[in-house]
Amino acid sequence: MIDIQNIDNTFKEKFPDFAVEKGALYVVSTPIGNLEDVSLRALYILKNVDLIACEDTRVTAILLRKYNVQNKMMSYYAQVESKKMDILIDELKSGKAIALVSDSGTPAISDPGSIVISHCVSNDIKVIPVPGANALIHSLVMSGFNNKKFFFQGFLPLKGRENVLLKLKEIKMALVIYESKFRIKKTISELNKYFSAKNISVSREMTKIHETTYRNRVDAMNKDISKIKEKGEFVIVIDNSL
């Protein structure tokens, strides 16, 4: 168990030679639901960097309060990512250490972060990953499908979805799609047009108390679509390997 009152001491006892690097961007994975799923290293970095760039400061604040971590935060959501990227780059060049976090999971995986990471690479600014929870990997494993190869689609576009689904149909491996509670039933109905005989796994509320994984053929799931509760974020995995 992490001693929330003594994060620094606990971490230093285990890793006495570790130090937060100045002028480095730490890409920190955060829990996807259960707040216990955070590493001691992640907490130590969040506490000791000069700034935390958050997708939503209100969401990150919940995690920080739980572990008694106090630090300066700056909002860095998708709509302002390009505008605030220069601010982060300037801060990094000045020698400040910055942690980048999304609301849950790993930044830049269907979340903000890819732009500033790319610019850090272009400017020879060190980028350091701090691994942790990821809904993509957990849902893929939970599906039970062959996962030696998989294709990550992320969210389907709002327009031109049929063209994307036609292309996905030709990719013979497990397909992973993110979806929101607002479109999950519509998306399964659309998937039925192209993958009706394929097996599908749909995970929701991963790591939370109401975590659920639905498994069936696509056509059968579409027929019983009312059984799916429209709550939380969804990860769809289609066994398109054959």
- Of 130, 145, 176, the domain-final residue: 130
- Looking at residue 49, which CATH number applies to its domain? 3.40.1010.10
Percent of the chain with pLDDT over 90: 80
* 8, 47 contact by CB (below 8 A): yes
Query: Is residue 107 located within the same domain as residue 37?
Result: yes
Q: Is the pLDDT of residue 159 over 70?
A: yes
Sort 38 into a burial class: Cβ within 10 Å, 0-12 / 13-18 / 19+: buried
**Domain final residue pick, 103, 130, 157:** 130
Domain that holds residue 229: 135-239
Q: Which of 93, 115, 130 is the last residue of a domain?
A: 130
pLDDT in tens, 210-240: 899 999 999 999 999 999 999 889 999 999 9
Q: Is 178 found in the same domain as 92?
A: no
Specify the DSSP element, H or E, that contains 184. Answer: helix 184-195
User: Is residue 232 located within the same domain as residue 148?
Assistant: yes
Confidence at residue 2, expressed as pLDDT on a 0 to 100 scale: 62
Query: For residue 1, is pLDDT > 80?
Result: no
The pLDDT of residue 242 is 80
Is the Cβ–Cβ distance between 49 and 70 less than 8 Å?
no
Same-domain check for residues 25 and 114: yes
- pLDDT tens digit sequence for 168-184: 999 999 999 999 999 99
Residues 107, 157, single domain; the answer is: no
Report the distance separating Cα 72 and Cα 199, nearest Å. Answer: 46
User: In angstroms, how far is CA 124 from the centroid of its own chain?
Assistant: 25
- 105 and 175: one domain? no
H-helix or E-strand containing 135?
A: helix 135-143
CB atoms within 10 A of CB 230: 12
User: Does residue 16 have a pLDDT over 90?
Assistant: no
- 173 and 197 in a single domain? The answer is yes
Cα 68 from Cα 185, distance rounded (Å): 39
Give the pLDDT score at 45.
96
Burial of 99 per CB tally in 10 Å (0-12, 13-18, 19+): buried
Report pLDDT for 130: 97
Q: Tell me: do 18 and 125 sit in the same domain.
A: yes
88 with 37, same domain: the answer is yes
Please indicate, yes or no, if residue 107 is contained in any of the structural domains: yes
Q: What confidence score (pLDDT) does residue 9 get? A: 83
If asked whether residues 139 and 24 sit together in one domain, one would say no
Provide the mean pLDDT of the chain: 93
Q: Are residues 184 and 88 in the same domain?
A: no
